[in-house]
Structure formats: structure tokens, C-alpha cells
Amino acid sequence: MDAVAHPSPRGPRIVLFLEYDGARFSGSQVQRAGIRTVQGELETALEALTGQQLRVRMASRTDAGAHARKQVASFEPVSVVPLETYESALNHHLPNDVTVAEAVCVEGLDVNRDAVSRSYRYTILNRCNPSALLRDRVALVREPLNHLAMANA
């Protein structure tokens, strides 16, 4: 996902590019207490790092079980933590199924409104037998696919 900052009265924000394996998440955004989400884990890690409760904004939602290669999240920093510290420190506090790939400081970015694109990838394994390696990453369709109908759609 690419993001472009527009002039805004908001101050600086830390923008995080996340990767996660969504197999054990109930989606990316906080829903209710006791439900494990990517945003919840990130907010917990930020509190461990800064000692303060910070609200994270996610650029888009993902459903339960969905994975992400470059999910964008942001928050307004309230403590003085060097930018280069966010990646390693947050990765230290995050569970191993979520990683901060990159952290940048941007002035006035709204990760929802200022995103210029979003892309999603769905993978179909079209064969009779499931895959031991890809079982959580693909949809298994055992019947032959109608490639012409798919192309027309």
C-alpha cells in the first residue's frame, strides 16, 4: 500500500508497515475485549515500550485468518522514542506472528483517507488433494475451474 501525506493540522505520526500471519487473529482491528487482533497486539506492544496507552489506526481491515505483507498502521507519538528504536523495540514486544517491517515519521498523514491504493491477493489451489505446506494460505477447489468464466468476470 502506498501512502501520500496531505497538509493537515495533525502533527507528526509514526507510520508502521506490518507483516502478519493472521491464522490466530480475529481480524486486524480491535473488536471487543478478549478477542485477539493485530491492532490489539500492536497497542499492547506500544504500551510496553512507551508506558502509555496509544490508539493505533489501521489503513484497512482484514478478516479473521487473513495475512498481510504490508499493512499500514499509524499512531501519534506522545513520548520521545527515537524513530530507529520503534522497529526493533516493537518487534521485541510483539508476538512472533506480527512484525514491524519498517517505521517512518510522517507529518499529517491519515492512513485511511490518504492511501492511494490497496491490493488483496486470493490464492486458489486447484487440485484434488490439499497441500500440507499451503493449507492455511490457499482455498482448495477440487473441481475443475472454468477459466473462461473467470477471465470474463
Is residue 63 part of the annotated active site? The answer reads yes
Query: Rounded distance, CA 117 to CA 20, Å?
Result: 19
Q: Which of 2, 21, 63, 114 is catalytic?
A: 63
Query: Rounded distance, CA 88 to CA 49, Å?
Result: 11
Distance from chain centroid for Cα 79: 23
Cα dist from 107 to 6, 45, 100, 122, 144, whole Å: 8, 23, 20, 33, 50
CB within 8 Å of 99: residues ≥ 6 apart:
18, 19, 20, 91
Q: If DSSP codes are grouped into helix, strand and coil, which group holds residue 41?
A: helix
Task: Give, as one character, the DSSP assignment of residue 144.
Answer: P
Which has the closest alpha carbon to 68: 120, 14, 139?
120
- Residues identified as active-site: 63
